[in-house]
Amino acid sequence: MQEILDTLANNSTWAYALLFVYSLGGGMVAILAAALLCASGALDIYLCVIIASVANFLGDEGLYYFAKFNRKQALPYFAKHRRKLALAQILFRRYGAWIILFKKYIYGLKTLVPIAIGFSKFNDIKFCVINAICAIIWALSLGLIGFFAGDLVNIISEKIGANNSLFLLALLAILGLIWLYFSKASKKKV
């Protein structure tokens, strides 16, 4: 495991670039993984939070403006996601700006909510300000959770000692199960 951390520390530019690209479309797993690496000293937590929040902000802004200025051209591409767009519209009407924050944590709605808001007549500046605040809150909360979980992981890893590869496989299996749960939970039930 130490070899992986050393490799990441020596190539941190690529890790930060990957975090940026992945955070454009959501990035929950990326910021958690980066924060775990920050706890081990491979990356800088402040830089990871800044990169993730800026990328998440830019990704949502891009989706919002894409929907706002390309409504007629974009609607046919979302025909398969009509139910999810309708749900996003309902949630937006019911909860208002709060849905912009909560959707950042909900798998399956992360990309559709800014599109649904872009299809509406929501104020551009208001969306920009709310989105910026929500992106910072999102990156800070997940970054801190991942960082403190990383401290716990490091303590457990030190106790295990020679079985670091087994620990890494267990950690990857847990992340895979979390991803599987969220992907199944967001599927339409027939």
Closest C-alpha to 152, from 174, 135, 136, 137: 174
Q: What average pLDDT does this structure show over 12-23?
A: 86
- Taking all residues of the chain, what is their mean pLDDT, rounded to a whole number? 81
C-alpha 113/C-alpha 145 separation (Å) is 24
Top pLDDT among 116 and 188 is at 116
pLDDT-based confidence at residue 1 (cuts at 50, 70, 90): very low
Both tokens of residue 183?
Answer: 């992907």
Amino acid identity for residue 162 in this structure: A
- Per-residue model confidence as pLDDT tens digits over 84-110: 778 778 888 888 888 888 888 877 677
- What average pLDDT does this structure show over 22-38? 84
DSSP annotation of 189:
P
Helix then strand then coil, in percent of the chain rounded to 5, is: 85, 0, 15
Q: What are phi and psi of 119, to 5 degrees?
A: -70, -25
Q: How far apart are CA 28 and CA 104, in angstroms?
A: 8
pLDDT at 190 over 60: no
Q: Is 57 exposed, middle or buried (0-12, 13-18, 19+ CB in 10 A)?
A: buried
> Collapsing DSSP states into helix, strand and coil, what is residue 43?
coil
Looking at residue 91, its pLDDT comes to: 80
Residue 183 or 5, more confident = 183
Domain-by-domain residue ranges, the chain?
2-185
Q: Provide the pLDDT for residue 5.
A: 52
DSSP 8-class letter at 148? H
Residue 61, pLDDT above cutoff 60: yes
pLDDT in tens, 107-160: 767 778 888 888 888 889 999 999 999 999 999 999 999 888 887 777 776 776
For residue 40, what are its two tokens?
A: 């081990």
8: Cα within 13 Å, side-chain hemisphere: 22
Contact criterion met (CB below 8 Å) for 39 and 154: yes
Of the candidate ranges 2-11, 95-104, 134-143, 167-176, the one whose mean pLDDT is the lowest = 2-11
Percent of the chain with pLDDT over 90: 22
Residue 28: both structure tokens together: 């929950």
- The yes-or-no verdict on residue 4 having pLDDT over 60 is no
